[in-house]
Amino acid sequence: MIRVLLADDQALVRDGLRLLLELQGGFQVEAVAGGEEALAAVRRGRFHVALLDVRMPGMDGIACVRAIRQVEPDLPVLMLTTYDDDRLVRECLAAGAAAYLLKDMAPEDLANAIRLVVSGGTLIPGDLARNLLFASTPASSRTHGEDPAPEPLTPRQREVLQWLAAGLSNREIAARLFLSEGTVKNVVSEIYARLRVRDRVQAVLRARGMFEPEGPRP
């Protein structure tokens, strides 16, 4: 059972998220209304993960992440928001968040994201990840067409990339790895961002030499 601390100042959103997660199975959720309450809950209890709204009155999500890091430095924190904002992503990651998620994601994708960070992974939606990596690439490199070194892939990303190279669709990869199709789509977007490519063909070409010649086994 994954113990989740959920903080959101909107009661309807908070109660809805708690119910959605508990319906997914395997989650025990304690829901609070703000950053101060979340920090107090961390101090008195043991959680596997914290799920925080970015925008909250009083102590907002970013300030709460920083405070949680002082109390429980190893507690993974996911930021959940309606704001598709590169600056907020950078601030959340700098504060110590492991993931930045948009509230319009499917319930099963949110559940899978929580499981991912509990197991030590990180997650940023693909479009945001691409924007961050593009912004971090020196303008001179982009202007003169230099090919920057790709970011190292996580084990999950390498696994998905292997199946991409074998010609499987997102749906087929999802079935083999017991993931939702939306989760695979996010991982594929992250692969594009880390490898600095635009599509599957470029990703597979960039992946040459990363794996054994026979690829993944069916």
Q: How many domains does the chain have?
A: 2
pLDDT, average across residues 84-94: 77
pTM, rounded to two decimals: 0.61
Q: Which domain holds residue 8?
A: 2-124
pLDDT bucket at 9, cuts 50 / 70 / 90: very high
Q: Residue 46 domain-assigned?
A: yes
Q: Residue 131 domain-assigned?
A: no
pLDDT, average across residues 164-168: 79
Q: Residue 139 domain-assigned?
A: no
- Do 168 and 62 lie in a common domain? no
User: What mean pLDDT, rounded, does the chain reach?
Assistant: 79
pLDDT, average across residues 152-171: 84
CATH code at 182? Answer: 1.10.10.10
Tokens of residue 15, six digits:
């109660």
pLDDT digits over 46-57, tens only? 899 999 999 899
Q: Which helix (DSSP H) or strand (DSSP E) does residue 53 occupy?
A: strand 49-53
State the pLDDT at residue 47: 93
Q: Which of 109, 124, 139 is the last residue of a domain?
A: 124
- Do 155 and 119 lie in a common domain? no
- How many other β-carbons are positioned within 10 Å of the β-carbon of residue 169? 13
Strand 27-32 relative to strand 99-102: parallel, antiparallel, unpaired?
unpaired
- Do 97 and 13 lie in a common domain? yes
pLDDT, average across residues 170-193: 84
Q: Is the pLDDT of residue 140 over 50?
A: no
Q: Residue 29 domain-assigned?
A: yes
pLDDT, average across residues 31-44: 94
> What 3-state class would DSSP assign to 94?
helix
pLDDT digits over 90-135, tens only? 788 888 888 888 777 778 778 888 887 887 776 665 544 444 444 4
Q: Is the pLDDT of residue 38 over 90?
A: yes
Q: Residue 217 domain-assigned?
A: no
